[in-house]
Structure 1
Amino acid sequence: MSLRDRVISTSVESSADPVELLSLKNPVHFLALGFGSGLAPKAPGTFGTLAALPLVWLLIQPGLWFYLCLTLIACLAGAWICGHAARDMGVHDHAAIVWDEVAGMLLTMFAVPLNWSTLLVGFVLFRLLDILKPWPISYLDKHVHGGVGIMADDILAGILACVGMHLLLEMGWLT
């Protein structure tokens, strides 16, 4: 019996939380769970986004190209990371899988000067887009599946939030 079959049969046979099928000792699960932030009992997506904030600050220190490269890696690898965790849980896009929020927040803050106000506005803007899912984010959320589907709506939300951040900066409404 494959791991996927065992996970699905375990999920069906027991009423246990599928998160119990993951382990923070597994590096893929650790990343998928946003360094553990996805285990928050309420609003795991918000906690996953919060977990990204120190990462944003850390990754920008070596420079913008470094930040861009690691953000792209986070997005591309995220499809595999999220898909793997979802298969292990036997649940597509479980709320505890928050690597997509981490990647979305990294995208939101691309080339944005970092200070408390930009981090706060970026956080709020990304969360609003991720929660409300206006079109075309909602289209991706409903029509793209697997690990790519888990990531796609948050990647687009992050890109749109980044555009919004740069518009706010350009208009002088954010410094």
Structure 2
Amino acid sequence: MSSAQFNLKDPVHILATGFGLGLAKKAPGTWGTLAAFPFYFLMLPLADWLYLAIVAVMAIVGIWICGKTSDDLGVHDHGGIVWDEVVGMLITLFWVPVQWPWILAAFVAFRFFDIVKPWPIRWLDKRVSGGFGIMIDDVIAGVFAWGVLQVALIYLG
């Protein structure tokens, strides 16, 4: 691992670390995922198409944010880079009822897929590099978690 450090005066590094939450010593991805919630609550009143457009822009810009920060550190997908978790969590939360049990279920589902990395998430994580590689596994984890929640809503909601 490189001895490079995050530069918390650099706005790109601040975003990459989820406003510093990804710098937690234990479970940085889990802590970093929490950085999605301010965005989520601000975006709740938006039309679905606008919510998805913002998440898409965040994902596309995230390729650059994660790639640049990774290059700056000299470490591919450093644990402190959590912008990808922010985007994955926002995908998971789309169309989830704004009720704490469902929001908690979304958090748990996303963290499950992000940590366990079932196929094709693990395959992508190991074979795709750069900023796109950092982002894509969490985007897919978000889609998987979203799908599980939508099925749960059909049967439990």
Equivalent residue letter for 1:99: W
* Residue from 81, 96, 106 that aligns with 1:97: 81
What is the deviation of 1:120?
Answer: 0.1
CA contact (8 A) 1:79 1:148 kept: yes
Q: Which residue of 1 aligns with 2:52?
A: 68
Q: Which residue of 2 aligns with 1:123?
A: 107
Q: Which residue of 2 aligns with 1:85?
A: 69
Q: Which stretch shifts more, 112-121 or 81-90? A: 112-121
Q: Which runs of 5 or more structure 1 residues have no equivalent in the other structure?
A: 1-7
Over residues 45-75 of structure 1, what are the superposed CA-to-partner deviations in whole Å (9 max), with x where a residue is unaligned?
0001112122211112233222111101111
| 1:37 pairs with 2:50 | no
CA RMSD, aligned part only? 1.4
Over residues 141-167 of structure 1, what are the superposed CA-to-partner deviations in whole Å (9 max), with x where a residue is unaligned?
111111000011100000111111111
CA contact (8 A) 1:100 1:151 kept: yes
Higher Cα radius of gyration: 1
TM-score with structure 2 setting the length:
0.95
Q: Which stretch shifts more, 107-116 or 35-44? A: 107-116
> SS where residue 42 of structure 1 aligns?
coil
Equivalent residue letter for 1:68: L
TM-score with structure 1 setting the length:
0.85
Give the total of aligned pairs: 157
